[in-house]
Amino acid sequence: MTISEKKENSENRVIMYREALNEAIMEEMKNDDTVFVMGEGVAERGGSYKVTAGLLDEFGKKRVIDTPISEASFTGAGVGAAITGMRPIVEILFIDFTVLIMDQIVNQAAKYKFMTGGKGRVPIVVRTQGGSGNGLAAQHSQSLEAWFYHIPGLKVVMPSTPYDAKGLLKSAIRDDDPVMFIEHKLLYMKKGEVPESEYFIELGRGEIKRKGKDITIISWSNMIPRSLSAAERLAEEGIDVEVIDPRTLVPLDRKLIMDSVKKTRNAVIVQEAVRRGGVASDIASIIQEEAFESLDAPVAIVAGKNTPIPFNLRLEKASIPQEKDIILAVKKTLNFKIG
């Protein structure tokens, strides 16, 4: 089937982000016997965030596998299974724990296609969740997408809505390259419209979440709802903001970003991750190289503080971008243009 986005001819329901992910996995497991799920607590408990609820009853223990608490071993097993023709979905409970699977993902999965002269493939999806929220402290609250963004051979997906989550996960499962599918702990209970009919979202195809003419905000994951909220408040002051969601960081929809920036002539990039060495800095450099003459002001970046995430809820909130920070960055960028 052609990987394409299909919004038309479907009556949309309103379901949760986690339910959309569950439907994607369920549909792909029914479609393809080589798809299976493995991870800590994914079978009997249905996953800590209930994304895999009901899969064990539907597909049995051979295709929904509870693993020991040993990320390196079961991720390695997943990589091996993918190389031999299976399509594993490996769940890592927190993105913080991906430090334990770096050799399997970075040195093995990401490089296998290159080292086999394009003959080999590793169709594995590593599902994990990152970001702060709920006071889970420094070892369970990081935003580490830049680690994987940096590695040639990996694809990186970060959906912000239930609709995007389902369509992107279905495409990721069918993709022949290793995909890091990064969810956000605060999005699982968020609701949104999702068609009942089957649809896919092409990896590398971003979306304009809000049209505007004065300035472009580029953000992803849980920073999208925050950016949209900031845009609505700015609209009350006569500032028309366009919000771009790349949806996948690798491949990156550079054309969508450039077209928007060239139209609005101003850009703010918002990421939850710490600023140092972040994806936002790379996107800013791309804009500077490809759209410098279109800019009326320097590209602004709103990012997390360069600190481990505190356990204290007030300090946690202070360490990552809030709506007011986005609003301030937009106003400063536009004021720079004026004066």
Q: What average pLDDT score do residues 105-119 get?
A: 98
Contact predicate 167/199, CB 8 Å:
yes
pLDDT, residue 4, reads 43
Residue 336: band (very low, low, confident or very high) from pLDDT cuts 50, 70, 90: low
CATH class of this structure's domain 207-338: alpha beta
pLDDT at 6 over 60: no
With tokens 């903001």, the residue in question is 241
The lowest-confidence range among 6-20, 146-160, 186-200 is: 6-20
| pLDDT higher than 60, residue 21 | yes
Closest CA to 37 of 110, 127, 119, 97: 127
For the cut 90, the answer to whether the pLDDT of residue 91 exceeds it is: yes
In the predicted model, is pLDDT for residue 9 greater than 50? Answer: no
Domain limits of the chain? 12-195, 207-338
Nearest to 100 by CA among 124, 126, 122, 82: 126
Say if residue 86's pLDDT is above 90: yes
CATH of 12-195, picked from 3.90.79.10, 3.40.50.970, 3.40.50.1100, 3.40.50.150, is 3.40.50.970
The average confidence (pLDDT) of the chain is: 95
Interstrand relation of 207-210 and 125-130 (parallel, antiparallel or unpaired): unpaired
CA distance 303 to 270: 6
How sure is the predictor about 187, in pLDDT bands with cuts at 50, 70 and 90? very high
pLDDT for the residue numbered 38: 98
The pLDDT assigned to 3 comes to 39
Which pLDDT score, from 0 to 100, does residue 81 have?
A: 98
Q: List residues with catalytic annotation.
A: 71, 140
Q: Please tell me the predicted confidence (pLDDT) of residue 160.
A: 98
Find the DSSP H helices in the chain: 17-31, 55-59, 71-83, 102, 110-115, 145-149, 162-174, 223-235, 254-264, 279-291, 313-319, 323-338
Identify the pLDDT of residue 337: 53
Q: What pLDDT was estimated at residue 134?
A: 87
Residue 11: predicted pLDDT: 65
Topology alike, domains 12-195 and 207-338: yes
pLDDT of residue 47: 94
Residue 12: band (very low, low, confident or very high) from pLDDT cuts 50, 70, 90: confident
Tally: H helices and E strands in the chain: 12, 14
Is the alpha carbon torsion for 281, 283, 284, 290 positive or negative? positive
Residues 261 and 267: beta-carbon distance below 8 Å: yes
- Claim: this prediction has a pTM higher than 0.85: yes
